[in-house]
Every structure is written in structure tokens, then in C-alpha cells.
Amino acid sequence: MTSRGLVVTDRFLAIIGTLDTKGAEVTFLRDCLRDLGWKTKVIDAGLLGPPAFQPDVSREEVATRAGKSIEGLLSEGKDKVAAVEAMAQGIIRFVTEWVERGEVAGVIGLGGGVGTWLGTSVMRSLPLGFPKVMVSTIPFQDIRPLIGTKDIVLFPSVADILGLNPLLRKVLRNASSALAAMAGLPQKEESSKRVIGATALGITTPAVLASRRILERRGYEMTCYHANGYGGRAFEEGVAMGMFAAVLDLTTHELTNQLFHGTGLAGEDRLEAAGKKGIPQLVAPGGIDVISRGPIETLSSEERKRPHYRHSPFFTHVRVSSEEMIQVGKVMAEKLNRSQGPVTVAVPLKGFSDRNRAGDLFYDPEADGAFLLALKKKLLPEHRVVEIDAHLNDEVFASRACDLLFEMMDEGRKT
Amino acid sequence: MTSRGLVVTDRFLAIIGTLDTKGAEVTFLRDCLRDLGWKTKVIDAGLLGPPAFQPDVSREEVATRAGKSIEGLLSEGKDKVAAVEAMAQGIIRFVTEWVERGEVAGVIGLGGGVGTWLGTSVMRSLPLGFPKVMVSTIPFQDIRPLIGTKDIVLFPSVADILGLNPLLRKVLRNASSALAAMAGLPQKEESSKRVIGATALGITTPAVLASRRILERRGYEMTCYHANGYGGRAFEEGVAMGMFAAVLDLTTHELTNQLFHGTGLAGEDRLEAAGKKGIPQLVAPGGIDVISRGPIETLSSEERKRPHYRHSPFFTHVRVSSEEMIQVGKVMAEKLNRSQGPVTVAVPLKGFSDRNRAGDLFYDPEADGAFLLALKKKLLPEHRVVEIDAHLNDEVFASRACDLLFEMMDEGRKT
């Protein structure tokens, strides 16, 4: 866009819709975008019937790109899930190609249950910052699996998407102008040289806040992810994409969840991206002493016997046992041993989380010591373990952890 | 905005943020909006400490507008909920005044748990179509209570909002350009003369789809809400705001939930707005034979004895008994008896929902008959009850229901 709002680009905006049931709505959306000066490409994702108008990419082309045929997908009868997933895969291939060639400037989708599921499946495969707008009835209780690790903008349709009306036109006009504006922004790619990736949870927040102050004083910025599964996943993806010069992975809690069936899983490969990337990583055992479980009513009788507390109506924290802590230590060491870059594990000797502190419910120096021993035994000698006589959330711990990170980074610059 | 993108308005954009912890982020957002040519007003909602910079509306002014003082709110000690709610109330008063005077063109907020809760509380009080953008870590499992019945646009921040970094700047640039674009749109208010408000659920969808075709053939548009609590609430609000010429309230299921502790409540005053507004209302008992309950595991032993089925992993449908159906009939009649406008209740004699059909699990003509009897007994003679020898989801029912609605509307035009 020029400063005066004229679109001076050859790029287009992609619209994903089901032209069997939502032809009028997609047409309106397309016309809004055209009125704003944009070229468009409409992709038909409809499985129920022929399109209301000729799209730029037909449902047959979509199915073919996924290695299927529309007839095949429909004849699979009741397995709607597989059919929708195949359509999403086909669309992902089209859009990814357009993104790689720099031809598409943004994507918009609209739908109810199936449409939102399909549209967000496509959007989750697109890069951060790339404009992606989902107009949705928000039919799901938990939409976070649909958003995943991406900046998918949600426009609630308020009413059903079932024909045009003044309310829906209002929402679609807003959504299309928002998409067009984002697509028209100059694309700024900032350097990652002064950016540190970090991980936090409520139970480790003081450590992260203190670290942030220290990093900022040294001229660094921090991008901090919530270690609730989604966050850890997004953190690993950010590392892999080269968004960070180094990581301060203070909250490795998701390792414990992964091992002991907690909620909030970041995936089997948590704590591996930084090693693959070869960037310096300062790792701490923040929250590895805690298994995140669902509402307190859902705890097993075995879990009820352990120290546990209600973190919120939705989550209960259960203390990890000595034997389990040994396993966490081993797994952490195994993952870090595969690292291509420098690794330091900073272990606070006075507790790994908010309520793991002398006198409080989760304090168990024996179990935490078992973790430390297992870690040290397994970790290759080229990696450091530094014991710090403080609680994870003490200022002195953050200060020492940041110093250790800077040491690794300085070392890297020298060689 | 002119067609060339220059802002030629005296209106401003409002930014809601906590300047104690998020001063840098709010400053960046404000500068983005200014760069796009907009004036801004920053409202400080911070309770934890003094602001990072001088806002346009201070936290003291916010508290005062809510009839409180910052000191008072803080001294209430641990009751953070009450303090945040008071701040939200204060901000609502400022913003509502600005909206009424036509001074503000859009609102944006950013935050984590508390910030999202506070920002969306304010936005839920603003009119549909008015641009409202929430940049959020999406820390809640179910964000629908936060969105409520409004078109609050959600921008996921992906990472925590904890200091500036390239990712957050990307998201904030996108969000501010989206807000500015929406705010710059010409405000089109469309007439409601040709718009019918309607209600649907999966179990009544065929009735609504058939009605939509009929309405559209007659030159009407339909705005249809999902009767899952949020939808019924939004429907009632839409009626009250004058968005519809008449209503086709085919899915009154939420009355049953309200009476018998179902999930998905639209409020005590469901089925009352149209009567107060005096617009013609065609009412049907769609889904009143069903209580929506949570996951099947949560059913009581009494409920397990009744006909019930799993609607989804999250919802179980439980059949309503004869005695309960009588209560629904009475309550429906009482509500409709207070109507200022014409009312017709169309009752399908072959079943009120998908699985309430001869031979299927919820078929219970005796219970449905008890409802009909109670309704007829209680409903004032100026209102009509029309019995239709069909299932609610039969084409003939929709056709007859629409005809009855048109009759009332034609009648209204004559007098």
C-alpha cells in the first residue's frame, strides 16, 4: 500500500469457503475485498454439493492436490473427518505454494463447526505475522486447539452463518477491511540477534520477570511463552524458525507432563529445537516437580495421596515423586546431550516452583536431589550443571542464570 | 477515511491497558495507531502500581467513575475480582459516553488473564459492529463467556505479553492496522424492515433451513442464532435493539434448560424481548423436549433412567418428562401473554426435535401433548395456537409456520 491507501501490489488475498452452502457469504466477502482494491482467489472447500459460482480453485483441484478425488472422499460415506482433513491438506498445499512464491498477502475463511475446523487447519500451517482471519460462529468450547501456535485472528459472527443479513454484512465488512489493512502493511522482518526466547508459568513467574529486567538492561528483548502445552510448542517452533539468539528455558514443566500423563503437552520433542539449532541454551528445572492434572474431582486415588493443590477450577497440581524425578533428570539429559550448541543447566537448590519451598506443600529436597543426581550422571561432560543455593524464584537465581547465558553467548562470539 | 486512506475524522481510538506492567506495549500500540493517522486516548486500568506514562484517563479517574477510589480498591486486599470489576465498570462509563457522543471510533485492549477479562468486560458493553479488538494470550479454556454476545475480535498474542519483542510488535502492528481499518469504514446502518430473527440448533436445523428458503423467496433475510445460551441471549438483545421486523423463534429449547438446570442458559428473560418490542412473533416448541446436560459421565442416576443420548463429547440430551413439559407450557404461555404484539405458537404434532419422532428414542406424544394442553389452557385468547400435523423438521411445518408469520406481518401493515 502507498501511504495514501492505494494497493500497489500484484499479490492477492485468498478466501476459503464452502461454496455449496455459503456461496452468497463468500461472494459478499470477495466483493468487499475487491472494493478495497485487492485481487482475490476463492478456494472451494465444499463437500456437500456443487459450487454456487465458479471458484478460482475448485473442490476437485483441492482434492486432487491432496491425492484424492471428490467422488472418493464422498464415497467414503460417513467419515466426514477424513474428508475434511483431506480438503484441508489440499488447500494447505495451494496456499503454502502461494506464500513461498510471495503471491498471496493474506487468507480469510468463514464457517461454523466444519468451516472453522477446516479454515484454522489451513491457517495453522502458515507463518506467524502472515495475515490470517477466521470469521467463525465459535462453536467450540475450547478454541485453543484450533488456534494452536499461530496468530489466527478470530472474528465472532455472533449469529449463525446461514445467509446474508445486516449483522453478518457488518461483521464481514469489518473482517475484510481488517484483512486488507494487515495485508497492506509493509513487511518488516526484524533481526533475532538481540532476542532471547524464554518459558514461564504462574509458578515460575518471579524468575522470568527478574530475568526480563536483566536482559533488557543488557539490551536484549525477551519473547516468553507460557509452558501450558501450546506455549511450549510455539516456543520450540520459534526456536526452529530462528526467532532467537539464545534461550532461557526456565520452565521445562512440560517434560513432566509428557512423561506422566499431565495435561498441557508440548509434544515429544520439547527441549530439542534449541539443540538442533545449535544456539546457546540456559535450562532450568522450573515446574518439573509438578504434574498438571485436570479439575481436582478427576484425580485418581493414588494422586490424592500425594501432595496436591487446586491451581484453578480447571487444573490441579500434583507433586512428582523421587522415582519420577529421576526419570525427568534422565530424559532432560538425553535431550540436551544431542545439542549442537552450548548448554548450561542451572539448578536452584531451594525449590523448583512456587510452592516447592521450605515449609510449603511441595517442598521435597530429596526428590529434587534425586533429579539433580540423575541429570549429572547422564549429562555429557561438555555440558555444564551449575547448582545455585537459592529458590528458582529468588532474584539471585535469575541473575546467575542470565550471567551463565551471557557467558555462553560471549563464548560463541569469540570462537 | 477518504478513498485514499487519509483519516478525515475528529474521532479517536481508545486503548485500554494496564500501564503499571504493560507501559511499553501500550506505547507501541498507541504509536502504531498514530502512525496510521489516528488520534488516541489511553485509559489506564492498572491496579498494581503507578503508570509508566501519563494516560489520557488515569486509573484514579476510572475508579472515581465507578464510585470507588484506587486506595479503596487496593485496600480491599485480596479481592482482586471486585477491584477488576470496578475498574471495568469505570471504563465502561467513559467509553459508553464517548460512543453516545460519537467521539470514539474503536477500542483496543491487550492483556493476559486479568487484562483479557477486563478488556472484554468493557467490549461486551459496546454495540455490535463498533470495532473492538482484544490482543490476548487467550489464557482461558472457554473464551465464549468473554466474547458473550458481541463481535469482539481476538488477536492471539501467541507468546506472553511481557515486554516488546519482534513477535509482539508484529501482532500489535497487525491488530492496530485492523482496528484502524474497521474504524475508518463508512458506517452503514441497514434497515431492519426485511430482516427476520430466528433460532436454531442442530436438532431443529431442517426447519430453519426450509424457513430460510421460504423467507428469501419472499424477499426477506434471516438472522439465525444458535440456541445454546449465547445465541438465545444475542437473539433477545438483537430483538431489543430493533434488528428485526419479526421473529421466527422456532427453537425455544433454552426455556427448558432454564427451568431444569440444563447447560446453555440464555437468561430468565428469554422469549420476552419480542413481546416487549411488540413485533410479530411466530413461536415453536423446537427442542423444548430436550434438557442439555454436560458430558454423559456427569448425569445423575435419575437422568440415566430417562431416555438420553450423547450429542457430542461435551453434551448429553436428556428427555423432558410429562410433568416438566406442562411446566414449560405454562411458562411459555405466561411469557407470551405479556406480549405487546401479535403471537402465534405453531405446534408440530409429530415431534419437537430430531430424535423425537415415531420410532425414535425421544418420541413421547403423551408428554408433548401435555405441553400443548398446558399452553392452550394458559395462553390468552388473543394469541393463536396452531396445531400442525407434521414433525417440526418436516418441510410442511416450516412452510405453514412462515405463512402464519407473514399473516401476522400483513395484518400489522393493514392496521
Mutation site for A-interface testing, chosen from B2, B128, B174, B228 by largest number of A Cβ within 10 Å = B174
Q: Which of A160, A184, A208 is the last residue in one of the domains?
A: A184
Specify the amino acid at residue A273.
A
User: Does residue A223 sit within a domain?
Assistant: yes
User: Per the structure, how many domains does chain A have?
Assistant: 2
Are residues B177 and A173, on separate chains, in Cβ contact within 8 Å? no
Contacts A185 to B, Cβ<8 Å: 173-174, 177
ipTM for the complex?
A: 0.94
For chain A, residues with pLDDT lower than 70 are 1-8, 76-78, 414-415
Tens-place pLDDT, residues B332-363: 999 999 999 999 999 999 999 999 999 999 99
Gyration radius (Cα) of chain A, Å: 25
The predicted pLDDT at position A76 comes to: 62
Of B4, B5, B181, the CB nearest to A178: B181
Residues of A in contact with B209 (CB under 8 A): 162
- A153–B170 CB contact, under 8 Å: no
Pairing of strands A384-388, A343-348: parallel
Same-domain status, A243 and A302: yes
Name residue B55's amino acid: P
In chain B, % of residues over pLDDT 90: 86
Examine the domain organization and report whether B21 and B105 are in the same domain.
yes
- What is the rounded distance in angstroms from the CA atom of residue A117 to the CA atom of residue B82? 37
Q: Inter-chain contact B223–A159, Cβ cutoff 8 Å? A: yes
A177 and A215 co-located in one domain: no
Q: Are residues B235 and B109 in the same domain?
A: no
Model confidence band, residue B4 (pLDDT cutoffs 50, 70, 90): very low
Residues of chain A with C-beta less than 8 angstroms from the C-beta of B223: 159, 165-168
A271 and A390, same structural domain?
A: yes
Task: Give the full edge-to-edge strand order of the sheet including A221-226.
Answer: A221-226, A195-200, A246-249, A281-283, A343-348, A384-388
Does residue B6 sit within a domain? Answer: no
- A7 in a domain, yes or no? no
Say whether pLDDT at B202 is over 50.
Answer: yes
Q: Are residues B173 and B233 in the same domain?
A: no
Residue B85 covered by a domain: yes
With respect to residue B67, please indicate whether it lies within any of the assigned structural domains. Answer: yes
Q: Is residue A169 domain-shared with residue A200, that is, in the same domain?
A: no
A348 and A368 fall within a common domain: yes
CB count in 10 Å sphere of residue B392: 30
pLDDT band at B128 (very low <50, low <70, confident <90, very high): very high
Confidence of residue B8 (pLDDT cuts 50, 70, 90): low
Among A38, A21, A18, which Cα is nearest to A30's? Answer: A38
* Mean pLDDT computed over every residue of chain B: 94
pLDDT tens digits, B93-120: 999 999 999 999 999 999 998 899 999 9
A293: enclosing H helix or E strand:
strand A290-293
Nearest chain A Cα to B231, which residue?
A: A159
Q: What's the CATH number where A132 sits? A: 3.40.50.12020
Tell me whether residues B174 and A131 touch, CB distance under 8 A.
Answer: yes
Looking at A146, A162, A184, the residue that finishes a domain is: A184
Using a CB-CB cut-off of 8 Å, the residues of chain B touching A209 are: 162
For residue B229, is it within any domain?
yes
Q: What is the pLDDT of residues B246-270, one digit of tens each?
A: 999 999 999 999 999 999 899 999 9
Question: What are the distances in angstroms from CA A405 to CA A96, A244, A275?
Answer: 36, 13, 14
Is A256 found in the same domain as A347? yes
Q: Are residues A309 and A400 in the same domain?
A: yes
Q: Which of A128, A154, A184 is the last residue of a domain?
A: A184
B125 and B172 housed in the same domain: yes
B78 vs B386, residue with greater confidence: B386
- Give tens-digit pLDDT for B371-381: 999 999 999 99
- Residue A77 placed within a domain: yes
Of A5, A155, A195, the CB nearest to B153: A155
Please judge whether B152 and A156 are an interchain contact, meaning their C-beta atoms are less than 8 angstroms apart.
yes
Q: Is the dihedral of CA A107, A112, A115, A121 positive or negative?
A: positive
Question: Which domain covers residue A58, as residue numbers?
Answer: 12-184
What CATH number did the domain enclosing A277 receive? 3.40.50.12030
Q: B158 vs A234: CB contact, 8 Å cut-off?
A: yes
Of B162, B166, B180, the CB nearest to A192: B166
C-alpha cell at B201: 440448533
Question: Is position A189 within any domain?
Answer: no
- Residues B135-149 have pLDDT tens digits of 999 888 888 999 999
Residues 6+ apart with CB under 8 A from A78: none
A211 and A318 fall within a common domain = yes
Alpha-carbon distance of A147 to B140, in angstroms, equals 13
* Among candidate residues A3, A325, A294, the one with its CA nearest the CA of residue B141: A294
How far away is chain A from the Cα of B133, in angstroms, using its nearest Cα? 9
Q: What is the mean pLDDT of residues B36-56?
A: 95
Provide the pLDDT for residue A9: 74
* Per-residue pLDDT band at B406 (split at 50, 70, 90): very high
Q: Do B224 and A163 touch (CB under 8 A)?
A: yes
- pLDDT for B1 equals 40
